[in-house]
Amino acid sequence: MTTQTQYLTAVPKLDLADFTHGNEEQRQKFVQQLGNAYEDIGFIAIRNHGADSQLLANLYAQVKAFYDLPLETKLKYDDADGGGQRGYTGFGKEHAKNSNAGDLKEFWHFGQWVEDGDELINFYPANKHVDELPEFNVVGKDIYRALENTGIQMLRAIALYLNLPEHYFDDKVHNGNSILRPIHYPPINAEPNGSIRAGEHEDINLITLLVGASADGLEVLTRQGVYVGVTEVEDHIIVNVGDMLQRLTNDRLKSTTHRVVNPPQEQWHLPRYSIPFFMHPRPEVSLACLESCISDENPKKYADCTAIDFLNERLREIGLLK
């Protein structure tokens, strides 16, 4: 595998407004370009995504304030017994699937707010409230809802690309088990001894919506086996395919291997913040390969399972669930 880093001169970019507010020609073009990108490298950048820039700025301010709290305060919100599905997970607790080296990060999880009487309210753990920062949960919920709505629009375009009804995924992600994860990569104060900020991995979920990080470091592995650095794309968010969607589509759509590398040593003193939204279906949703994605040329590759079974398996692999 080639490990050199190359930088894209142009990240694949699309305008979500072409799909949500465009004419039929614009919508069809968006769907085709989206599908082509997801079959090729598995990620794109979109603008007009619906996540207000001021809201994002407020979230970053709240996230920084949280991570600036003393460690003993943050540990009040630890969720080790719950597999880290809500609240705080400390530095080095998570690792990539095929690595024992802990990632150089700490993070927080906001999960679903069930507010319509759905029985899932009894299944999901409650979100943890940070007493020291009363706006932290308010802003977190607002951006969770905004990115969830964006994700639904993206899944509608994906459904059309797969020759499914446009709203095929709507009921499958209603009150889905999605996670908003504000991540803090602290300054590196000593030789990392093989650890990097996030080891190479693929995301577990259907799609991931990544709000622009505060520093470079994200790299995506291309089909040619070359890691490509993804620099910040102003006014865009990155949306990539996760393993659940790759599984559903029987590998037609590509779940990208990616990582967050350490900066040059002269920048070790700088922290990095990143906020991905991992869009999951409801726990009971089947991940059986879509019949339309199975053929003689592309036979079925995966055994049937539910979303919660697959999630728990992966959480055990990365060290968050025992």
State the CB neighbour count (10 A cutoff) for residue 188.
19
Residue 28 has pLDDT above 60, yes or no: yes
Residue (of 30, 1, 320) closest to 166 by Cα position: 30
Residues 160, 228, 143, 123: is their CA dihedral positive or negative? positive
Q: Fold for domain 5-317? A: Jelly Rolls (2.60.120)
> When comparing pLDDT for 295 and 235, which is higher?
295
The pLDDT of residue 9: 39
Quick: pLDDT tens for 81-132.
777 889 999 886 654 454 455 567 899 999 999 999 999 999 999 999 999 9
Of these ranges, 187-201, 209-223, 255-269, 285-299, the one predicted with the greatest mean pLDDT is 285-299
pTM: 0.87
- Tokens standing for residue 95: 């690792």
Q: Which amino acid is at 62?
A: Q
The pLDDT of residue 267: 65
The pLDDT of residue 6: 43
Quick: pLDDT tens for 29-78.
999 999 999 998 888 889 998 888 888 889 999 999 999 999 999 999 99
Three-state SS letters, the chain: CCCCEEECCCCCEEEHHHHHCCCHHHHHHHHHHHHHHHHHCCEEEEECCCCCHHHHHHHHHHHHHHHCCCHHHHHHHECHHHCCCCEEECCCCCECCCCCCECCCEEEEECCCCCCCCHHHHCCCCCCCCCCCHHHHHHHHHHHHHHHHHHHHHHHHHHHHCCCCCCCCHHHHCCCCCEECCEEECCCCCCCCCCCCEEEECCCCCEEEEECCCCCCEEEECCCCCEEECCCCCCCEEEEECHHHHHHCCCCCCCCCEEECCCCHHHCCCCEEEEEEEECCCCCCECCCCHHHCCCCCCCCCCCCEHHHHHHHHHHHCCCCC
The pLDDT of residue 214: 43
Residue 243 has pLDDT above 80, yes or no: yes
The fraction of the chain above a pLDDT of 90, given in percent, is 56
Residue 238 has pLDDT above 60, yes or no: yes
- Phi/psi of residue 108, nearest 5 degrees: -125, 145
What contacts 184, CB < 8 A, 6 or more positions away?
A: 63, 67, 105, 106, 107, 271, 272, 273
The pLDDT of residue 94: 52
Work out whether strand 5-7 and strand 227-229 pair parallel, antiparallel, or are unpaired: parallel
Residue 188 has pLDDT above 70, yes or no: no
Residue with tokens 């803090």: 184
| Exposure b/e, 273-300, CB count within 10 A at least 16 = b | bbbbbbbbbbbebebbbbeebbeeeeee
For the ranges 10-19, 52-61, 312-321, the lowest mean pLDDT is seen at 312-321
Rounded mean pLDDT, 264-290: 86
Of these ranges, 136-140, 226-230, 310-314, the one predicted with the greatest mean pLDDT is 136-140
- Tokens standing for residue 36: 């082509």
Rounded mean pLDDT, 217-230: 74
- Phi/psi of residue 76, nearest 5 degrees: -60, -25
Residue 3 has pLDDT above 50, yes or no: no
